Amino acid sequence: MYPKVIIHNSVSLDHAVRGFEVDLGMHYGALLAFEPEAVLVGSATAKSGIEMFMDINEPEAEADRHRPVVRPDDPSPTSVIVDSRGVLKDLLHFYRNMEHTKDVVVLVSETTPEDYIDYLREREYPFIRCGKGRVDLKAALRELRERFGIARVVSDSGPDLNDVLVREGIADTISLIVHPVIVGEGEKKLLGRVGNRVTLELQKAGPMGRGTVHLVYAVKK
């Protein structure tokens, strides 16, 4: 069994995810309205979020080295971070302390550096290790469901990870908050590297304020 996977992005009209002002309240309000049990985050997105919103000079405290006690009735999602190269070594405690995060699970692969695996073990971060070079996302999501009971995942990632989720037939739903701006050249565009044709079914379309439109599509499989 796989969890249901929803891609959620705030985009410009030409599908950039950066290069314009994302309305974060709107973005995360719509994300949480999907009631995710987990939020999937690529390592570049996680690193840029930490650098943008946290004081990265804040040292890790002793309490940060331990897995928090997770109350079964806590509605906050678990953060699931894809990080086969260990780029979040020494930074994961910022994620552990983030609002709306009850736990952090890391997805790694067979080639992930052993010092990162030691870092995860020493700090009690649960991890799923599958895939040779990059993380085998299908297998990792299946294990996420089996080991952690996670049935609904929203991917809050950029084009690199979200395009793979569509290309590999993993994404069930695509949710876009389209902002009234064309960013133009120079930014990576969402859904530019999906590869094959994908047919969608419109589930929702409506204005969200500040000139934005929220579009939700089911991916036909």
Output 68 or 143, the one with its CB closest to ligand NAP: 143
- Any contact of residue 158 with ligand NAP (CB under 6 A)? yes
Q: For ligand NAP, which stretch binds (CB under 6 A), given 15-23, 121-129, 201-209, 212-220?
A: 15-23
Distance from C-alpha of 103 to C-alpha of 44, rounded to nearest angstrom: 19
Query: What number of other Cβ atoms are within 10 A of residue 28's Cβ?
Result: 17
3-state secondary structure of 102: coil
- Antiparallel, parallel or unpaired: β 200-209 and 212-219: antiparallel
Q: Give the torsion sign (CA, 208, 163, 38, 97).
A: negative
Distance from C-alpha of 98 to C-alpha of 79, rounded to nearest angstrom: 9
Output 92 or 161, the one with its CB closest to ligand NAP: 161
* Interface pattern 164-203 for ligand NAP (x via CB under 6 A): x---------------------------------------
Distance from C-alpha of 217 to C-alpha of 214, rounded to nearest angstrom: 10
110 contacts 52 by C-beta, under 8 angstroms: no
Strands (E), 113-199: 127-129, 152-155, 173-179
Closest approach of Cβ 87 to ligand NAP, in Å? 7
Q: For ligand NAP, which stretch binds (CB under 6 A), given 55-63, 67-75, 159-167, 204-212?
A: 159-167
Output 68 or 208, the one with its CB closest to ligand NAP: 208
Closest approach of Cβ 152 to ligand NAP, in Å? 18
The one among 37, 83, 103, 172 contacting ligand NAP by CB under 6 A:
83
207 contacts 213 by C-beta, under 8 angstroms: yes
- Any contact of residue 12 with ligand NAP (CB under 6 A)? no
- Antiparallel, parallel or unpaired: β 212-219 and 173-179: antiparallel
Q: For ligand NAP, which stretch binds (CB under 6 A), given 10-18, 32-40, 96-104, 146-154?
A: 10-18
Binding site for ligand NAP (CB under 6 A): 9-10, 17-18, 22, 42-45, 48, 82-85, 134-135, 137, 156-161, 164
